[in-house]
Amino acid sequence: MDRILISACLLGRPVRYDGAGKRLADPRIDRWQAEGRLVPVCPELLGELSVPRPAAEIVGGSGDDVLAGRARVLAATGEDVTAAFLAGAEAALDLARRTGCGRALLVDRSPSCGSLSIYDGTFSGRRIVGSGVVAALLAAHGIDVFADHEIDRLAEAMAVSP
């Protein structure tokens, strides 16, 4: 059975930085959840950050740059939370491997989970093309990452799986 690592907030769990969820209302999510295919994850909680917590953005690049040590993740307060984001990414990768997830459905624009775009590190609301720390690490280890608005592409990929 194809298993999917999914951002816990997309299941409505109140784990986002602001204490909210971001439920993705789609019958396929409900079906996959009923079939036991979904493995919820919040990398920021795995990295021992709290809920709520200050918003954070990648400063100086994207998730790949954080993984390479060329960029940092900073909270809006100025606190460097890079270590927590890296720990959460490693824990998410470990969870994906242990549970047999070959794909991930992650909330876009997040400094952890964004796979197509992230905020630019200025806390001004501007977005750039790039991935978050978790999305970059999962992709680097062969896990297909889909943004929350790419559920059609994910469903197509699952339909053609052996």
pLDDT band at 159 (very low <50, low <70, confident <90, very high): confident
Residues 61-73 have a mean pLDDT of: 98
Question: What are the residue ranges spanned by the domains of the chain?
Answer: 3-159
- Grouping H, G, I as helix, E, B as strand and the rest as coil, residue 5 is strand
pLDDT tens-digit readout, 113-139 = 999 999 999 999 999 999 999 999 999
Other CB atoms within 10 A of residue 122 CB: 9
pLDDT of residue 160: 76
Determine the residue type at 117.
S
- Above 90 in pLDDT, residue 67? yes
Determine the residue type at 152.
D
Phi, psi for 53 (deg, rounded to 5): -150, 160
Check if the beta carbon of residue 115 is closer than 8 Å to that of residue 147: yes
pLDDT of residue 35: 95
Q: Report the C-alpha gap between 83 and 33 in whole angstroms.
A: 31
Check if the beta carbon of residue 35 is closer than 8 Å to that of residue 1: yes
pLDDT band at 28 (very low <50, low <70, confident <90, very high): very high
Helix (H) or strand (E) holding 152, with range, is: helix 151-159
Determine the residue type at 123.
F
Instruction: At 17, list the tokens.
Output: 């930085």
Other CB atoms within 10 A of residue 51 CB: 15
C-alpha dist (Å) from residue 100 to 67, 74, 90: 23, 32, 15
- Above 80 in pLDDT, residue 16? yes
Tell me how far apart the terminal alpha carbons of the chain are, to the nearest angstrom.
Answer: 10
